[in-house]
Amino acid sequence: MSDPISVRARFERFPATVKGAFILRGEDANPHQVVVGSARVAALGAGGSSPVPMAPVTLDVVPHRDVFVPFELPLSELEPGWYTLVCDVDVDGSPATYDGGRRFSVPWPRATVRRGAVKVGRQSTCSTWTVVPSSRWTVRATRSRCTCASSPPRRSR
């Protein structure tokens, strides 16, 4: 049996806050009374969770229509890492917990991140291997990827 409602989180991440809304949608042919009791931001992995400042609200969710519950989350109290938004609701008196579906990250402070420059095409050694970064270097907000050509150490005869 499928859930009577679906809950999604849509948000924009700003330098100091995350602003957005939980979107509740009726998924069957019946209207539902939904009490949004609380919401929290949960760390992925080994972290805990902290509450999202939001007042409890009672809503009527009609079939196949979206209802928005806005929120604003300050990022200053969160440790660096990846997070998801979780919403605790009562659907027609039955408690349920829904994951918002989208993740966001809180970056590490710039002073704690190691930075450096690597020249493309220049050889360097790692242990006993020779590594040559090729022309493919991809940098994203969450990771960087370098395509390298390496050669094993020469064996002595």
Question: What domains appear along the chain, each with residue ranges and CATH number?
Answer: 5-106 (2.60.40.3880), 118-151 (no CATH)
Q: Yes or no: say if 51 and 42 are a contact pair by the CB < 8 Å rule.
A: no
Q: Yes or no: say if 37 and 88 are a contact pair by the CB < 8 Å rule.
A: yes
pLDDT digits (tens, 9 = 90+) for 20-73: 999 999 999 999 999 999 999 999 877 788 899 989 999 999 999 999 999 999
Q: Is the pLDDT of residue 132 over 80?
A: no
| pTM reported for the whole predicted model | 0.68
